[in-house]
Amino acid sequence: MVKLEDYSSNIENQWCPGCSNFGILTAMKHALLALDKNPEEICLVSGIGQAAKLPHYLKCNFFNGLHGRALPIAVSINIVNPELTTIVVTGDGDCYGEGGNHFLHTIRRNPDITLIVHNNQIYGLTKGQASPTTDLWDKTRLQFEGVELEPLLPLATALLHGCSFIARGYAGDIKHLSELFLEAIRFKGFSYVDVIQPCISYGTHTASWYKERMYKLPPDYDFNNKGEALVKTTEWGEKIPIGILYRNDKQRRLFGDHFKETTFNGKLTELGFPPHKTIIEMMEEFR
Ligand SMILES: Cc1ncc(C[n+]2csc(CCOP(=O)(O)OP(=O)(O)O)c2C)c(N)n1
Ligand code: SF4
Ligand SMILES: [Mg+2]
């Protein structure tokens, strides 16, 4: 039986005191505890940013790579070793800006991984430039006359590209958030949770701004209905829905299934590298 302490890392935390990222970290630990998996069965993958530091503060396998590039790494990890529970932890800049292309194409691939985006609507680590989700005309430390771009609607984008599990949580509601994480991780296929994460140092909105607008989707909301989900995933501003916005229970084909059916149906890690030839033998073929 796993205990909460099993996931505790002794790396010194670099987040601002009082940052809402701490709530996400606690929610993640509780979700992993409820999964009852040992730390060695989990792999967290991140890029660069405040959000991307989360794997440092949790004891399990992790890969901390380049800005915006967490998703392709996670897809590869999942293909090579599908037994690892692979979770990407990223920020709104990392995922929707620098990594925006990977966001779209990973949804199309449908690998069996979970994506968690700490959405503080700002570039936190680099001290407050606008991100793809900063609201229109919000003033930042760089865009001091206001942001003149319409914000991206990432949840609606995910829905339109076939993502089968789409949720939004709030970093301040740890119980609800850990339940969303648990459902997302258990979901077979690409699952995606965008987390409202107020940045108290550089964010354009306070925690109260979010609290006044957020509401939990009612129990009679039908998250299997794509039409209703389109309405909810585009709702932002006066009202902000949280909960599972969309779930497609008709399982889509997983990325890698075709390869398993036609080429190799085992764990790639068992093949070793290179699979059949040495690198020198392979290079000889190109001479
Ligand atoms: C290729 C590249 N471009 C830019 C940067 C600088 N940079 C580091 S973190 C960051 C923004 C991170 O924002 P976000 O993903 O929203 O994370 P947060 O810090 O807000 O959690 C940027 C632009 C970088 N490290 N690499
Ligand atoms: S800059 Fe914002 S997101 Fe980053 S640690 Fe500080 S409060 Fe948190
Ligand atoms: Mg951010």
Taking residue 260's Cβ as centre, other Cβ atoms within 10 Å add up to 13
pLDDT tens for the chain, residues 1 to 287: 899 999 999 999 999 999 999 999 999 999 999 999 999 999 999 999 999 999 999 999 999 999 999 999 999 999 989 999 999 999 999 999 999 999 999 999 999 999 999 999 999 999 999 999 999 999 999 999 999 999 999 999 999 999 999 999 999 999 999 999 999 999 999 999 999 999 999 999 999 999 999 999 999 999 999 999 999 999 999 999 999 999 999 989 999 888 888 887 877 767 666 666 677 887 888 88
Dihedral sign, Cα of residue 250, residue 255, residue 261, residue 267: negative
Residue 140 CB contacts under 8 Å (≥ 6 apart), including other chains? 122, 128, 129, 130, 134, 147, 202, 204
Mutation to probe ligand 1, out of 126, 141, 194, 200 (largest number of atoms < 8 A from CB): 126
Task: Look up residue 201 and give its two tokens.
Answer: 């140092």
Q: Which residues of 83-97 are buried (b: 16+ CB within 10 A; e: fewer)?
A: ebbbbbbbbbbbbbb
- Bridge partners for 8 per DSSP: 58
Q: Which ligand is nearest to the CA of 199?
A: 2
The range of the structural domain enclosing residue 58 comes to 4-286
State residue 275's pLDDT score: 60
Q: How many domains does the chain have?
A: 1
State residue 265's pLDDT score: 80
Interval between CA 43 and ligand 2 midpoint (Å): 24
Measured CA to CA in angstroms, residue 277 lies from 12, 260, 262, 274, 285 at distances of: 44, 20, 21, 6, 11
Q: What is the CATH number of the domain that holds 77?
A: 3.40.50.970
* Closest CA to ligand 2's atom 2: 199
- Residue ranges around ligand 2 (CB below 6 Å): 15-16, 19, 21, 50, 120, 124, 199-202
Atom of ligand 1 nearest to the CA of 68: 1
